[in-house]
Amino acid sequence: MQQSRSNPDRHRPAPPAHPARQASLRTHNLALVLRHIADAPRPPSRAEVATTTGLTRATVSALVDDLLAGSLLTEVSPAPRTGAGRPAQGLVLADHGPAGLGLEINVDYLATCLIDLTGTVRHHAVHRVDLRTVSPTTALTRVADLAVTARTEAAHQGLTVAGTVLAVPGLVSGDGLVRLAPNLGWRDVDVTAVLAGHPGIAPPGMTPLLVENEANLAALGELHAAPTGPRSFVHISGEIGIGAGIVLDGALFRGARGFSGEIGHLAVEPGGRPCRCGARGCLEPYAGLEAILAGAGVSGADLPAGAAVARLTRLAEAGDPATCRALTEAGTALGVTVAAVVNLLDIETVILGGAYAPLTRWLRPPVEAEITGRVLTATWSPVAVRAAVLGADAAVVGAAGSVVRRVVEEPADWLARTG
């Protein structure tokens, strides 16, 4: 496992292809059974799993035995009595087995998050600190220190950390290399190398740290928080920068090199306002948080990010005309971009996250107006625009959740590790 990530120059000519040995059947069916139990509305019995998956009861029993032995499942005895016959043993995801550790480095805080298989957040810590002023190495060391305490907390609660994912607000290319994080002032930081050997990250023999873009993980966080929601959507993280996480059929779309979703630099007015990126007319100078604050006449420079948004919502609720106008203008610009995304990808749902989430009430109308005006297919394939359910935690939650998700989708890997 992991080999496709460590070999970055194999994507052009050769299609990867593994032979299917008999163990592959087991791998597949273990995942099938576990996923089914994870998605079931109430604890299913082995027999139920058998009928709905199409496997035999015998097979399901054998597979469930393995999953129980690997601390991925728990039997819950009292299934709600229904009719005659021997009562079923309910199966649920274990809350004492593997857990995912999510880390986040952002402009003004560090965060950790520990999530167990059931999706419950078992530990969550946020550490406010300005990270623009410190070097990448110290920033990384600090977050790794926080990871140490999260790990001991995990051990305390009888959990095993199955993997660690770090969210970073920047461009991340394969194998933990942060190419550019403008708001942190980072450029070409090799996270894996810096943190190699740190006890919070890589206890000997453990899965290596994965580094991923914050907006991508926030989208995964939303998927995690609303498992019954749509399986294909775009999650837009509106902060100072604007990023998008694209989820297609339940899987994060990363693009050829992991740089997908740079929605903040789609053009909404070529030749218009200058952008930090050097181009003109990007979305960011029209719908970024700073643009909205400026349009509303709120000086956000001296405030922490959350407070500025709070003041904005207060003004908008009071009907302040400048604020409402600024939000409508931002929403229109955003809508032009969202319409482009929908035209291109035929996405069903657009989720407004980050600072946009509390502002959805005012942003949605202009966004929807642009969609209906610009998307020809909206007639047959209506597009839903809604607010994210997670707040600023989205990225850490998504980071931790992505580990859990991986364990559920590839339980054989975990079982191989536990023996």
Using CA atoms, how far apart are residues 211 and 54, in angstroms rounded to an integer?
37
Q: Is 39 in the site for a second copy (CB under 8 A)?
A: yes
Q: Is 26 in the site for DNA (CB under 7 A)?
A: yes
Which residue, 46 or 364, has its beta carbon nearer to DNA?
46
Q: Are 113 and 102 in contact (CB under 8 A)?
A: yes
Which residue, 156 or 187, has its beta carbon nearer to a second copy?
187
Q: Is 416 in the site for DNA (CB under 7 A)?
A: no
Q: Show the site string, 384-403: x = touches DNA by CB under 7 A, - = not.
A: --------------------
Identify the bridge partners of residue 112 per DSSP, sorted by sequence position. 103, 125
Binding partner of 375, given a second copy, DNA, none, CB within 5-8 angstroms per partner class: a second copy
User: Residue 176 CB: number of other CB atoms within 10 A?
Assistant: 22
Q: Is 232 in the site for a second copy (CB under 8 A)?
A: yes
Beta strands in 191-232 (DSSP E): 210-213
Size of the site for a second copy (CB under 8 A): 72
Q: Is 257 in the site for a second copy (CB under 8 A)?
A: yes
Question: Cα dist. 65→35, 38, 93, 415 in Å?
Answer: 15, 16, 13, 12
Which residue, 142 or 273, has its beta carbon nearer to a second copy?
273
Interface residue with a second copy among 150, 266, 390, 397 (CB under 8 A) is 266
Which residue, 78 or 271, has its beta carbon nearer to DNA?
78
Interface residue with a second copy among 4, 5, 20, 196 (CB under 8 A) is 20
Q: Which amino acid is at 223?
A: L
Q: Are 197 and 118 in contact (CB under 8 A)?
A: no
Interface residue with a second copy among 255, 274, 297, 304 (CB under 8 A) is 255
Q: Is 18 in the site for DNA (CB under 7 A)?
A: no
Q: Is 250 in the site for a second copy (CB under 8 A)?
A: yes
Using CA atoms, how far apart are residues 284 and 287, in angstroms rounded to an integer?
5
List phi, psi (to 5°) of 10. -125, 15
Neighbour order of strands in the sheet with 186-190: 171-173, 177-181, 186-190
Stretch that binds DNA, among 46-54, 237-245, 279-287, 311-319 (CB under 7 A): 46-54
User: Cα–chain-centroid distance for residue 411?
Assistant: 20
Interface residue with a second copy among 97, 258, 285, 411 (CB under 8 A) is 258
Q: Is 56 in the site for DNA (CB under 7 A)?
A: yes
Using CA atoms, how far apart are residues 350 and 357, in angstroms rounded to an integer?
12
Q: Is 256 in the site for a second copy (CB under 8 A)?
A: yes
Smallest distance, Å, CB 226 to a second copy?
Answer: 11
Interface residue with DNA among 38, 63, 189, 316 (CB under 7 A) is 63
Q: Is 317 in the site for DNA (CB under 7 A)?
A: no
Which residue, 135 or 381, has its beta carbon nearer to a second copy?
381
Q: Are 210 and 391 in contact (CB under 8 A)?
A: no
Q: Is 288 in the site for a second copy (CB under 8 A)?
A: no
Q: Show the site string, 65-84: x = touches DNA by CB under 7 A, - = not.
A: x---------------x-xx
Question: In the numeric block, which tokens belong to residue 42?
Answer: 């109430």
Question: In the numeric block, which tokens belong to residue 199?
Answer: 């006890």
Binding partner of 48, given a second copy, DNA, none, CB within 5-8 angstroms per partner class: DNA
Q: Please, which of residues 320-339 interact with a second copy by CB under 8 A?
A: 336, 339
Question: In the numeric block, which tokens belong to residue 252?
Answer: 């994060």
Sign, CA torsion 282/284/287/292 = negative
> Is 247 buried (19+), middle (13-18) or exposed (0-12) by CB count in 10 A?
buried
Q: Is 18 in the site for a second copy (CB under 8 A)?
A: yes
Which residue, 84 or 256, has its beta carbon nearer to a second copy?
256
For tokens 């980072």, the residue is: 186
Question: In the numeric block, which tokens belong to residue 355?
Answer: 């600072």
Q: Is 45 in the site for DNA (CB under 7 A)?
A: yes
List phi, psi (to 5°) of 380. -90, -25
Q: Please, which of residues 170-229 interact with a second copy by CB under 8 A?
A: 171, 173, 179-180, 228
Q: Which amino acid is at 331?
A: G
Tally of residues, the chain:
419
Number of alpha carbons in the 13 Å side-chain half-sphere of residue 55: 24
Stretch that binds a second copy, among 68-76, 108-116, 240-248, 322-330 (CB under 8 A): 240-248
Q: Which amino acid is at 138?
A: T
Which residues contact DNA (rule: CB under 7 A)? 19-23, 25-26, 29, 45-48, 54-59, 61-65, 81, 83-89
